[in-house]
Structure 1
């Protein structure tokens, strides 16, 4: 499998992660973005260093940026952690929100044993605040397509918050407990379609966007 490169220079690689491929994994024999990109660099005779500065859940497709050296990795990681980098998603929900635009704010607690997260009461030990804003771009009586901007980056955040709000993501086998036939063909209908950040060396503002999923116009 060859990575789908969107942009590359001496410091960064921007590419599209397919659904079903992990960002990083310790499982022997399983392809992940880190190893695919290391092999890609090695095939060009380059030092096969890849800095993973953010992640996408394995079932999620979308755009990602990786660092090609430690200096770039440190700068991009800082942008991600301090919210200087912006990440945008599309999600198809099983259910329609009452408001066309809104913000979801919750406290999330991660369970490492089950690899899940849940919404808990404020003040719960080890819980972390989660915030996202959304806008409805398409809808019918049963489903809506939301354009989402993440304000925080928590474990399974979009999936958990939308499910808690009564509109789980179509095809989500972890958090969508409604009985439905997924119009996405069984795939998790969540896509990271846009990322914006500053180049780690030149500090120039960069934005990258991929084609819209779910048949959006």
Structure 2
């Protein structure tokens, strides 16, 4: 059964880049469900807006889990796609997120370094504190922006892009994301979506090399409504930083 697709806000567009806000519940790219996906929807939008004949090129630079909303970047040319993919691999592609977790992390801010192994059949990952067979290093930094006692609003900066990384690493320290039943969240919240939002993407422009940054703040629906607009804005302001090394999307 398909989902109703909200309009997709465009944050920035030129001949090379397209930065948008992905609505929660929409796939990043097509899968066997046949449900609406960002790549197909945006290709159709470009085709209609620019009256383009035939197929429209649009490159998927990175992915967001289905339940996650926020900033998502696409390449409008094959050259841009290649250069942006290289930025991902070289860790000059900065990503920040904000999430709502159960409980309060023991430390108000910390750098988490773990090792993650994905089970493709079950679509779930396991987190290890030490290197393990087929597990890849996963690194993030978090900072608690606000806390209510039962829940915390947490800003996250990614250094690697492992599958389910934020969800799994936060659960590993005893603070699963609200709504994330797969990684141990309570059903009591009744949230349909996981409380995770892509707040910014920072990347060198594929042609001009100028540093470009695109931002989005979650609205006050669902678990986001537990916090004031000012708190959400402050949590979403964590700067992305450039890092180096290999990254898996």
For the superposition of Structure 1 and Structure 2, which TM-score range results when normalised by the shorter chain?
over 0.9
Of stretches 202-211 and 58-67 in structure 1, the one that deviates more from structure 2 is 202-211
- Other-structure match for 2:244: none
**Aligned 8 A contact 1:170 1:176 in 2:** no
**Greater strand percent: which structure?**
1
- Other-structure match for 1:29: 34
**Aligned 8 A contact 2:8 2:20 in 1:** yes
Instruction: Give the distance between the partners of 1:146 and 1:103, measured in 2 at CA.
Output: 13
Instruction: Give the distance between the partners of 1:186 and 1:89, measured in 2 at CA.
Output: 19
Of stretches 202-211 and 22-31 in structure 1, the one that deviates more from structure 2 is 22-31
1:66-117 superposed Cα distances (whole Å, 9 cap, x missing partner): 0001000011111112110110000100010121111111110000000110
Q: CA deviation at 1:195?
A: 1.0
- Other-structure match for 1:202: 208
- Other-structure match for 2:99: 91
Instruction: Give the distance between the partners of 1:179 and 1:29, measured in 2 at CA.
Output: 28
Q: CA deviation at 1:179?
A: 4.9
Matched, 1:190 2:196: yes
Of stretches 29-38 and 113-122 in structure 1, the one that deviates more from structure 2 is 113-122
What is the root-mean-square deviation in Å for CA atoms of aligned residues?
1.5
**Greater helix percent: which structure?**
2
- Other-structure match for 1:149: 157
Q: CA deviation at 1:124?
A: 1.8
**Aligned 8 A contact 2:71 2:216 in 1:** yes
- Other-structure match for 1:3: 8
Q: Aligned pairs, how many?
A: 215
**Aligned 8 A contact 2:177 2:185 in 1:** no
Q: CA deviation at 1:208?
A: 1.1
Instruction: Give the distance between the partners of 2:33 and 2:135, measured in 1 at CA.
Output: 32
Instruction: Give the distance between the partners of 1:204 and 1:29, measured in 2 at CA.
Output: 37
Matched, 1:128 2:125: no
Q: CA deviation at 1:26?
A: 2.6
1:8-43 superposed Cα distances (whole Å, 9 cap, x missing partner): 000010000010001012336311000011101111
- Other-structure match for 1:77: 85
Q: CA deviation at 1:205?
A: 0.8
Q: TM-score, normalised by structure 1?
A: 0.94
Instruction: Give the distance between the partners of 2:136 and 2:75, measured in 1 at CA.
Output: 27
Of stretches 187-196 and 21-30 in structure 1, the one that deviates more from structure 2 is 21-30
